Amino acid sequence: MDTMKAKGDTMSEKIDKTFINIQIPTEMLDLIDDYRFKNRIQSRAEAVRQLIEKALGSPKKEPSKK
């Protein structure tokens, strides 16, 4: 599994990300691109991330303990 530090993150904001490579039907890619352009999203990868978050729900963050 490839993990990397997100670009521009400081050491205190390190976010682990995993690269995935998938194959999807051309028709589905067209729908993703339509969503991307309609919502003015800069990259296809970001559009896919947003669609996954919508489908699965946003990750729940645990409240910080002080």
Enumerate helices (H) and strands (E) in the chain, giving the number of each.
2, 2
- Regarding predicted confidence, which is higher, 36 or 64? 36
**Per-residue pLDDT band at 53 (split at 50, 70, 90):** very high
Average pLDDT, the chain: 82
Question: In angstroms, what CA-CA distances link 61 with 7, 31, 37, 40, 65?
Answer: 21, 30, 29, 27, 12
CB under 8 Å, gap of 24 or more: what pairs does 27-34 form?
A: none
Region 41-61: what's the mean pLDDT? 90
27-41 pLDDT per residue, tens: 999 999 999 999 999
Region 7-13: what's the mean pLDDT? 55
pLDDT at 8 over 80: no
